[in-house]
């Protein structure tokens, strides 16, 4: 009988996936197993995703990043989306979420899972109308579960399920009001369905059945934040916190069903609120791994939201977030192109690595020390090999080549590294003539 990662961990069993993650993280496998058993670490690994290179997310592990992509009604170039997939894997993204909501979603998803060593996530709610070929109001609660099962069978490693937007959460939302209302796509669709049909959220009402489906394939549930703030004005409000309380209760229920859990979080949020939000999530959701979108720390930078997100993501991960969803320069504007995806990945990788250094993750600082040593020695090829984007670094360097190839065109012969190296080596420094 197939066991989920958390089920095996509770029984004291070390799985092959745990062994792989322990080696990647340079952590004792028994420590890892114990954290998985407690739910503070997850290894999203669908039994049908055979191409997967497993990754751990959570307590004491390196901060992971996720890339969003997929086919939409306005942009459905399948080859371009696969180019984004290849780029994401090349740059070391640990997860890819397929948010396709148009056309041959099943075929695209199956090809993605077959080729991807990264974890694959989806939001089945996005696919419901197309998969079922029904309008939103006509879809039944059981229909929604059928879509989740279809994704699970395909090999998806984690699914975002907005189960916390129940009647209680909606009552709070209506009473307290918001500047930007509901900005979660899946959350808004469920809100509309609930209001049009008069029914409870099907993922909340049939949560046990949902967990049974996820358990069968070992799909991790990523409890979605339908009430995430879509503006700094709405952050940490009653709607967000009411939903988070519900997610904490649902976390324990999923663990009781031996289903791994992540919690999704904001959104837009001012800098001074981030630390407290990380602590509240860990407290209310029993230490479950926290997966955050940003947070974006200002609302006025369309075209540069990969930067606003990286600022918030670095702070969030420093104070407890475990998994960062990238944001591209195209956020709030259009579907990102390949270059946007690259910019988003790099910004998110920088944020994750900066946080790992701040948290003291074992080995995180080693590559920075190697880069600094290469800079001291003015070894440009080594610097490029250590850079997150060595190709771009080399292009910048070579676009304005210096006269002295041991320096760069910023300082030339006045390079501080060059000057200090010469003096420590017992050489004279001449700025007006060529040294031998």
Calpha distance 112→145 (Å, rounded): 22
Asked if 112 contacts 88 with a C-beta cutoff of 8 angstroms, the reply is no
- The pLDDT value recorded for residue 432 is 82
SS3 65: strand
* Helices within 97-222 (DSSP H only): 105-115, 124-132, 141-154, 167-176, 185-197, 202-205, 207-217
- The pLDDT value recorded for residue 435 is 52
pTM: 0.95
Burial of 240 (0-12, 13-18, 19+ CB in 10 A): buried
- The pLDDT value recorded for residue 77 is 77
- The pLDDT value recorded for residue 436 is 47
Give the Cα-Cα-Cα angle 164, 44, 322 (nearest 5 degrees).
70
149 is known to lie in a ligand binding site: no
268 is known to lie in a ligand binding site: yes
Calpha distance 224→435 (Å, rounded): 63
339 is known to lie in a ligand binding site: no
87 is known to lie in a ligand binding site: no
Model confidence pLDDT, tens digit, residues 280-310: 999 999 999 999 999 999 999 999 999 999 9
227 is known to lie in a ligand binding site: yes
Q: What is the DSSP letter of 269?
A: -
226 is known to lie in a ligand binding site: yes
Model confidence pLDDT, tens digit, residues 5-23: 999 999 999 999 999 999 9
326 is known to lie in a ligand binding site: no
SS3 225: coil
Asked if 361 contacts 322 with a C-beta cutoff of 8 angstroms, the reply is no
Domain coordinates of the chain in residue numbers? 47-359
225 is known to lie in a ligand binding site: yes
Give the Cα-Cα-Cα angle 273, 279, 280 (nearest 5 degrees).
85
- The pLDDT value recorded for residue 111 is 94
Calpha distance 124→146 (Å, rounded): 10
Calpha distance 318→381 (Å, rounded): 31
264 is known to lie in a ligand binding site: yes
68 is known to lie in a ligand binding site: yes
Calpha distance 57→250 (Å, rounded): 19
Asked if 70 contacts 108 with a C-beta cutoff of 8 angstroms, the reply is yes
User: To 10 degrees, what angle do helices 105-115 and 78-90 make?
Assistant: 30
The rounded Cα 324 to chain-centroid distance in angstroms is: 4
212 is known to lie in a ligand binding site: no
9 is known to lie in a ligand binding site: no
Burial of 103 (0-12, 13-18, 19+ CB in 10 A): middle
126 is known to lie in a ligand binding site: yes
- The pLDDT value recorded for residue 74 is 62
117 is known to lie in a ligand binding site: no
Written as tens digits, the pLDDT of the chain (436 aa) is 689 999 999 999 999 999 999 999 999 999 999 999 999 999 999 999 999 999 999 999 999 999 999 877 666 678 899 999 999 999 999 999 999 877 678 888 999 999 999 999 999 998 888 888 899 999 999 999 999 999 999 999 999 999 999 999 999 999 999 999 999 999 999 999 999 999 999 999 999 999 999 999 999 999 999 999 999 999 999 999 999 999 999 999 999 999 999 999 999 999 999 999 999 999 999 999 999 999 999 999 999 999 999 999 999 999 999 999 999 999 999 989 999 999 999 999 999 999 999 999 999 999 999 999 999 999 999 999 999 999 999 999 999 988 777 788 898 889 999 999 999 999 999 888 655 4
73 is known to lie in a ligand binding site: no
Q: Which CATH number fits domain 47-359: 3.20.20.540, 3.40.50.970, 3.30.470.20, 1.20.120.530?
A: 3.20.20.540
| C-alpha Rg value of the chain to the nearest Å | 24
Calpha distance 136→127 (Å, rounded): 11
125 is known to lie in a ligand binding site: no
- The pLDDT value recorded for residue 71 is 75
162 is known to lie in a ligand binding site: yes
- The pLDDT value recorded for residue 125 is 93
């Amino acid at each position: 009988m197939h066991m989920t990662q958390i089920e095996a961990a509770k029984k004291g069993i070390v799985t092959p996936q745990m062994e792989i993650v322990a080696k990647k993280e340079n952590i004792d496998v028994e420590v890892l197993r114990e954290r998985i058993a407690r739910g503070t670490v997850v290894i999203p690994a669908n039994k049908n995703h055979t191409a997967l290179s497993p990754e751990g997310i959570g307590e004491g592990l390196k901060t992971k990043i996720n890339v969003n992509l997929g086919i939409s009604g306005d942009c459905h170039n399948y080859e371009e989306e696969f180019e984004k997939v290849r780029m994401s894997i090349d740059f070391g993204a640990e997860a890819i979420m397929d948010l396709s909501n148009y056309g041959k979603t099943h075929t695209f998803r199956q090809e993605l899972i077959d080729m991807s060593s990264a974890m694959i996530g989806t939001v089945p709610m996005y696919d419901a109308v197309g998969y079922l070929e029904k309008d939103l109001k006509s879809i039944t609660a059981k229909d929604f579960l059928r879509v989740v099962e279809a994704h699970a069978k395909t090999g998806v490693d984690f699914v975002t399920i907005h189960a916390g937007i129940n009647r209680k959460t909606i009552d709070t939302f209506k009473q307290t009001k918001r500047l930007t209302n509901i900005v979660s796509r899946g959350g808004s669709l469920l809100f509309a369905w609930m209001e049009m049909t008069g029914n409870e959220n099907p993922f909340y009402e049939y949560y046990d059945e949902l967990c049974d489906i996820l358990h069968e394939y070992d799909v991790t549930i990523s409890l979605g934040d339908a009430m995430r703030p879509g503006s700094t004005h709405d952050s940490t409000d009653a709607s967000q916190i009411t939903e988070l309380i519900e997610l904490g209760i649902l976390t324990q229920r999923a663990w009781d069903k031996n289903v791994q859990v992540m919690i999704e979080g904001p959104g837009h949020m001012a800098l001074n609120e981030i630390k407290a939000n990380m602590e509240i999530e860990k407290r209310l959701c029993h230490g479950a791994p926290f997966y955050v979108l940003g947070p974006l720390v200002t609302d006025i930078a369309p075209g540069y939201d990969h930067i606003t997100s990286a600022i918030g993501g670095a702070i969030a991960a420093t104070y407890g977030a475990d998994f960062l969803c990238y944001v591209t320069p195209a956020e709030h504007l259009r579907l990102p192109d390949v270059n946007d995806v690259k910019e988003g990945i790099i910004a998110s990788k920088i944020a994750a690595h900066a946080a790992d250094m701040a948290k003291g993750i074992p080995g995180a600082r080693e590559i920075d020390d190697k880069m600094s040593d290469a800079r001291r020695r003015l070894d440009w090829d080594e610097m490029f090999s250590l850079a997150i984007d060595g190709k771009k670094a080399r292009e910048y360097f070579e676009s304005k080549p210096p006269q002295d190839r041991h320096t760069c065109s910023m300082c030339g012969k006045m390079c501080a590294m060059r000057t200090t190296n010469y003096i420590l080596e017992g050489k004279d420094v001449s700025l007006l003539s060529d040294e031998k």
